[in-house]
Structure 1
Amino acid sequence: MEDKPAKSMQDVARHVGKYPEHAFHFVREGLSYSAETVHGKETDAHRLLQHFLAMYHLDWSDLVSRYHAGSLPEPVVEAINAAGGRENLNRHVDGRQLCWGLRDYSLQRWGLLARTVLESWKVTSTGDFGRIVFGFIELDMMQKQADDKLEDFEDVYSFDDAFEKGFHLGWSESPGNESE
């Protein structure tokens, strides 16, 4: 089997066409942030297992099936056990979870400028996050679950509600009366 050259962020940005490379870096970083928020910190065992899956073009369900069949190499079984067992293997986040994670990550990173930064990259809705994610998937740079679909990202929230109405600065009504 011949190894294909690794794809770059530039490749996926060119493939999708609408968004600049920065948007793809942001979504990739935001996916890590979201997975950590939902599942906790990634362990060395999880990284080893992800490498094994990528090397053999498997997904997490294949890994579980092979685990039950007893057909995995011993170091992989040890990594599964170190990761907390087969029920703690999959660090998948669905489209809705990812959209909310990307919102939180962008607010943490840019505060009130989050929406402005995203819109400067032509990201104006949660559907845009989905198109970026599926661009990665189409180039085998991310994996999806069997039931994941682009529609999962549509209308998760409006940017008006998520970035404007819900942002509270914590200031009192009257300047100088912070103790009220």
Structure 2
Amino acid sequence: MRKIILICILLFSVLLNLSSQSRFNRIIDSLENNISQLIANDLIVNYNFVISQRPWWTCLGDSYELKIVFDEECTYTIVSNKPDDSKHHKLDKSYTKFRLFNLHLNNQNELPYNFFKYFKYIFLIGKKEGDLFSGDAIFGEYKFKATPLELIIIDKKIETLTGEDKIIEKYNADW
């Protein structure tokens, strides 16, 4: 009987954790989609840069990072497909703040809008001409303020990279 109770408690805690992780993933995926659409529209309108969707994309960019900026000294990387994302797993004060962020998100089923300053989305995307890579790329860094009603672009930096060497150098740089 004791083993059955222990197994039930263990299964309940695993299911609770899976539910929390699913809620977190759903909200972050929605955030990534909204950010990608805002950036794509901004690139088309302001830079005449049309993005061709790639079938494996979950976010905008061939390489990208999504960070939460809690304050000037405390940033946590939520999503990264950079080659070395070991900094994502650092256990420091940003991780502690992220755990509080995640706890609120799971308990309230919404972002804790007053708990952080903004989201930062950094990306590198190669220009395509038809099905071929054109040899140019765009490197962008956008900052978004999240409110219950919308995401607002509060700052952006766009850099056009010409030539494979510049693109590789930026790709390997620390963002």
Category of TM-score, reference length = shorter chain: 0.3 to 0.5
Q: Which has the higher helix share?
A: 1
**Relative contact order (alpha carbons < 8 A, sep ≥ 6): 1 or 2 greater?**
1
TM-score (norm: length of structure 1): 0.32
Higher strand residue share:
2
TM-score normalised according to structure 2 size? 0.32
